[in-house]
């Protein structure tokens, strides 16, 4: 029931153009027109009830987006009206990451994305979703050709293990029965992107410790679970979830939030696990203490 692989060639290689420090009027006019075209294709890709038409739209969308990104100064164009994709800039503006999803039906999704670097000549790293082949809760270090596909909604910068890196928060529709949120780590090795770094540290009551390359939050398909960075408390905060039936321990698609929160706090070069972030439970009528979602979609819990 995981995502099925579509034999699709992503046309985002070998792109090289001049770029400037700001978006000129001419470039904006060109990109406005290209964005209008992408909006129309993207609507079909996201919403058409016919799976074949959604796939056909995807085949049109990727080269159309590529042509837009070949435009001078495209790095500075936010594509803020193109709501079928997520476009996130790194806090230091060194790159941005574009991601989007295709619903294949029967709970199956496929994810697409690319990293666009800020440079005089356009430099991009297309991302290929190979999560079909990955183990459950994979902890390996991954790369652009072996990407844990997801729709990103938040990015923060951090410093750990002697390097600058970025924590990406993403949504994965996963399958018919369960969804998940993921906090992954993006870093660059000799200029190339890598995903996963053992910066999340657990310390348990019995004294033993463990580290993780990324964090997974699994939950039932009709539940609402949040994972995000709390800018007021400087914590990664996420719902603590439990199975509705204790006999289903370990089956993530049966888990629902219980009203309490876990988290990670940055100390000593690691993000250290906090078993209970708050000493009180938050009921369903309260607003969770997490930032606003990327998009103004109050009914869409992907972006929280």
Q: What is the DSSP secondary structure assignment for residue 191, as one 8-state letter?
A: T
Q: What would the pLDDT profile of 90-116 be if each residue is shown by its tens digit?
A: 999 999 999 999 998 888 899 999 999
Q: How confident is the model at residue 294 (pLDDT cuts 50, 70, 90)?
A: very low
pLDDT value for 304:
73
User: Which tokens in the block code for residue 229?
Assistant: 């960075």
Inter-residue contact 124 to 116 (CB < 8 Å): yes
Q: What would the pLDDT profile of 160-192 be if each residue is shown by its tens digit?
A: 999 999 999 999 998 889 999 999 999 999 999
Most confidently modeled of 20-34, 163-177, 270-284? 163-177
pLDDT value for 126:
97
3-state secondary structure at position 271: strand
By the 10 Å C-beta count (0-12 exposed, 13-18 middle, 19+ buried), 87 is classed as middle
Q: What is the mean pLDDT of the chain?
A: 86
Q: Which residue has the tokens 């905060």?
A: 237
Q: Measured between alpha carbons, how far is 101 from 81 in angstroms, rounded to an integer?
A: 17
pLDDT exceeds 70 at position 236: yes
Q: How confident is the model at residue 19 (pLDDT cuts 50, 70, 90)?
A: very low
Q: How confident is the model at residue 12 (pLDDT cuts 50, 70, 90)?
A: very low
Q: How confident is the model at residue 302 (pLDDT cuts 50, 70, 90)?
A: low
pLDDT value for 106:
84
How far separated are the first and last CA of the chain, in Å rounded? 25
Q: How confident is the model at residue 125 (pLDDT cuts 50, 70, 90)?
A: very high
Q: What would the pLDDT profile of 39-88 be if each residue is shown by its tens digit?
A: 999 999 999 999 999 999 999 999 999 999 999 999 999 999 999 999 99
Beta strands in the chain (DSSP E): 86-89, 95-105, 108-117, 123-128, 142-143, 151-160, 163-172, 178-189, 192-195, 200-203, 209-212, 215-220, 227-230, 235-243, 255-267, 270-274
- The helix or strand, by DSSP H or E, that contains position 25, with its residue range, turns out to be helix 25-47
pLDDT value for 288:
40
pLDDT value for 300:
61
Which of 63-77, 101-115, 128-142, 242-256 shows the lowest per-residue confidence on average (mean pLDDT)?
A: 242-256
């Amino acid at each position: 029931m995981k995502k099925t692989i579509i034999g699709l060639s992503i046309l985002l290689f070998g792109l090289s153009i001049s770029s400037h420090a700001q978006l000129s009027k001419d470039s904006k006019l060109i990109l406005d027109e290209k964005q209008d075209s992408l909006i129309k294709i993207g609507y079909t890709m996201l919403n058409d009830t016919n799976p074949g038409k959604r796939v056909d739209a995807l085949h049109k969308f990727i080269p159309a987006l590529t042509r837009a990104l070949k435009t001078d100064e495209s790095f500075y164009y936010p594509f803020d009206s193109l709501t079928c994709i997520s476009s996130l800039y790194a806090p230091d503006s060194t790159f941005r990451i574009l991601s989007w999803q295709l619903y294949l039906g029967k709970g199956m999704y496929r994810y697409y994305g690319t990293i666009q670097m800020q440079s005089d000549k356009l430099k991009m790293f297309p991302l290929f979703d190979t999560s079909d082949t990955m183990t459950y809760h994979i902890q390996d270090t991954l790369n652009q050709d072996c990407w844990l596909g997801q729709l990103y909604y938040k990015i923060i910068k951090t410093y750990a293990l002697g390097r600058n890196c970025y924590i990406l928060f993403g949504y994965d529709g996963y399958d018919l029965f369960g969804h998940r949120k993921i906090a992954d780590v993006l870093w660059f090795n000799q200029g190339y992107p890598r995903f996963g770094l053992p910066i999340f540290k657990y310390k348990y009551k019995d004294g033993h410790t463990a580290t993780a390359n990324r964090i997974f939050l699994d939950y039932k398909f009709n539940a609402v679970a949040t994972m995000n960075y709390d800018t007021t408390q400087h914590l990664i905060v996420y719902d603590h979830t439990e199975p509705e039936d204790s006999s289903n321990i370990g089956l993530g698609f049966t888990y629902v939030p219980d009203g309490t929160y876990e988290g990670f706090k940055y100390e000593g070069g690691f993000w250290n696990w906090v078993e209970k972030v708050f000493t009180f439970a938050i009921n369903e009528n309260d607003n969770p203490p997490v930032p606003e979602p990327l998009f103004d979609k109050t009914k869409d819990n992907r972006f929280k």
